[in-house]
Amino acid sequence: MTELPFPIIFQNNHFIIINKPAGMPVYSNRHSEQQSVEDYFPLLSKRKEGPWLVHRLDQDTAGCLVIALRKQALINAQACFENKNVTKIYWAIVQGKPNENSGLVKLPLAKVTKNKKWSMQHDPKGQSALTKWKILGTNGIITCLELQLLTGRTHQARAHCALLGNPIIGDRIYNPVSNKNEFLQLFSREINLPLSPPLFAQAEPPAHMLDFLKKCHL
Q: Mind telling me the catalytic residues? A: 58
Displacement of CA 77 from its chain's centroid (Å) = 17
Displacement of CA 15 from its chain's centroid (Å) = 18
- In angstroms, the CA 28 to CA 9 distance is 22
φ, ψ of residue 178 to 5 degrees: the values are: -70, 140
Q: Which amino acid is at 133?
A: W
Burial class (CB in 10 A: 0-12, 13-18, 19+), 67: buried
Report DSSP letters for 161-176, one per residue.
Answer: HHHHT-PBTT-TTT-T
φ, ψ of residue 14 to 5 degrees: the values are: -115, -25
* Helix (H) or strand (E) run with residue 193 in it: strand 186-193
Collapsed DSSP state (helix, strand, coil) of residue 44: helix
- In angstroms, the CA 28 to CA 46 distance is 19
Quote helix, strand, coil % in the chain, to nearest 5: 15, 35, 50
